[in-house]
Amino acid sequence: MYIKAIKISKKIIFILILGIILISSTICYYSFANKENKQEEKKSDYIKWVDFKITSDILNKTAKLDIDSHTKNSAIKYDWIELLAYLACKNGGNFKKFNQKDLDNLISELEKGKVIEELIQNTKNYNYYYESYSAVLGGFIGYYSIEVTNEDGTKSVKDKYGIKAFLPIAKNYSFSHYDDFGNERSYGFKRTHLGNDLMGSIGTPIIAVESGTVQHIGWNQYGGWRLGIRSNDTKRYYYYAHLRKDHPYAEGIVEGCSVKAGDVIGYLGMTGYSIKENVNNINVPHLHFGMELIFDEAQFDSINEIWVDVYHIIEFLKKNRSEVYMSNKETKDYSRKHDFWDGGKSHV
């Protein structure tokens, strides 16, 4: 009887241990599954669409407020992206509905000592607009150092705060453009135009809008000789296409190299619309300039790419152009006239 009881006890203990193991395994499985689901949610929790509709007039107004507050030692420093995000909450992101009173009231409240966090409590989508506009404009205004030519012809370096992005067309070169974003294209297959065409003369020096890394270079049957630059914060991908036949790129421009905002990177042309390399099949010489936003690497080079209308960005950048000179008479290459350091020379 005693021996039988022992056998029964061992059986019960075995069942209990087996039960504990099964319960523990179940808990671990669901814990792991829950963690995996949260990681998947986190991976997909990024912005997937941006409709950039800020006019150059509003960009100029908010940029001036930002720059003046930093350069005139104002007690309150404005952030133009915060201002734009707040205004977008008022007009649903469509700045054709911009009301000057909204901006005036915002500045008045900020001057009274309120902070943006207080003013957005009853607004919707502020965080979305702020992150979206930061992705578009994050590298455009800030501290930098640049060479300047003094009256006696010597050069010196000045630290500045202001617009540190450049127009993609070099200073003293003419161009024309209109808002052609979204227009239809038929070569190869029916598609929409995801950039802005800047019409100009063949050989016009093309400028890096922002500092970054050359990520793509070479021939593409649609863009001809083209160049892609990723901004240093990785949020923007700048696409320059239809560069000049035979000599599309500036000296030293290779895949993987770093460029500074304002550097000469290539030359305007009319290449493209051909499987065969180095062919001029574009009717009118122009630069195709585009900007892609990247909130997650899964978006890059995929069907989920986000391209924004850069027409008003071009209008805004007209005030900041990089001056160039012929630095190599044999190759007829150009270089920037004044060196530049993003963030200021002390940050290099």
Provide the pLDDT confidence category of residue 182 given band limits of 50, 70 and 90: confident
The architecture CATH gives domain 163-342: Distorted Sandwich (2.70)
Report pLDDT digits (tens) over 47-103. Answer: 999 999 999 999 999 999 999 999 998 899 999 999 999 999 999 999 999 999 999
Report pLDDT digits (tens) over 153-169. Answer: 899 999 999 999 999 99
Is residue 30 over pLDDT 70? no
pLDDT at 193: 86
pLDDT at 17: 58
Provide the pLDDT confidence category of residue 20 given band limits of 50, 70 and 90: low
3-state secondary structure the chain: CHHHHHHHHHHHHHHHHHHHHHHHHHHHHHHHHHHHHHHHHHHHCCCCCCCCCCCHHHHHHHHHHHHHHHHCCCCCCCCHHHHHHHHHHHHCCCHHHCCHHHHHHHHHHHHCCCCHHHHCCCCCCHHHHHHHHHHHHCCCEEEEEEEEECCCCCEEEEEEEEECCCCCECCCCCCECCCCCCCEECCCCCEECCCEEEECCCCCEEECCCCEEEEEEEEECCCEEEEEEEECCCCEEEEEEEECCCCCECCCCCCCCEECCCCEEEEEECCECCCCCCCECCCCCEEEEEEEECCCHHHCCCCCCEEECCHHHHHHHCCCCCCEEEEECCCCEEEECCCEEECCHHHC
pLDDT at 100: 97
Domain ranges of the chain: 56-137, 163-342
Is residue 277 over pLDDT 90? yes
Is residue 10 over pLDDT 80? no
Round the average pLDDT of the chain to a whole number and report it. 89
